[in-house]
Amino acid sequence: MSTLQGKTIIITGAAMGLGLATAQECAAQGANLTLVDFNEKALAEAKADLATKFPKANVLTIVADVSKEEAAANYVAETVKVFGRIDGFYNNAGIEGRQAPLTSYDVDVFKKVIDINLTGVYFGMRHVIPVMQKQKYGRIVNVASVGGIRGVMNQTPYVASKHAVSGMTKNAALEYGRDGITTNAIAPGAILTPMVAEAFRQVNPADPKAAEDGYAQANPTKRLGQPSEVAKVVAFLLSEDCSYVSGQTIAIDGGESNSY
């Protein structure tokens, strides 16, 4: 039997990139899914794609902006109404913001990045955890970044928000371990998703492929990561088998963050 068979998993930012890849992995393992995203069209496409590839999967979709607390309350309540419980929470929705030096960073963009990447992740945990406490079981995987364990030039709010996600992950692990809930974070390096493709366009608008190749050369593996390589790790962290790992931020970056 596969490890996520019959489990109910909420995934935010599920319409594309790492969220969609994890939705596919969880569906392949037999999980029930609540997929949350504010991009209605892409979410509908993701649902249709899952229905084709995994016709037996139960998939609930909710169009919502995770930075609004009422949205988090609603996706949690709807999931409990439809599936009866929440076994796993992939707290993934996030944005990069625009790239600029710290002193000239656009303050509105700064606040938006913090609202989605930090406050949105907090609202998700705030509403999911009470359900998991009642069950005396839960697995939470927050999405930080290598930018949550290292600095990244010209990405001050992103780096601040991702360090904060790593910090909240430690606190949730401390406060709710007694309730059978593990909380971990992942720190992906450069994984080829729509977000990263946009980052390469910002780094080198004339030749984004050159920016991509430069990134790949700096990595010990000489390549970027694929979303499915992140999804496999997340699926394990969301599984019952991952019962004594908590409060960790796990780099998924081909080893790159070890270099000096």
Residues that bind ligand NAD (CB under 6 A): 12-13, 15-19, 37-39, 42, 65-67, 92-95, 116, 120, 143, 145, 188, 190-191, 193-196
Of the chain, the end-to-end C-alpha distance in Å amounts to 43
| Residue burial 25-46, b: 16+ Cβ < 10 Å; e: rest | bbbbbbbbbbbbbbeeebbeeb
- Owner of token pair 């907090």: 122
Q: How many CB atoms neighbour CB 237 within 10 A?
A: 22
158 is catalytic: yes
Tell me if 2 sits within 8 A of 30, measured CB to CB.
yes
Q: State the DSSP string of 47-64.
A: HHHHHHH-TT--EEEEE-
Rounded Cα–Cα distance for residues 36 and 58 (Å): 14
Q: Of these residues, 90, 158, 176, 215, which one is catalytic?
A: 158
Alpha-carbon span 163 to 10, nearest angstrom: 23
How far is Cα 93 from Cα 120, in angstroms, rounded to an integer? 8
Residues with a known catalytic role = 158
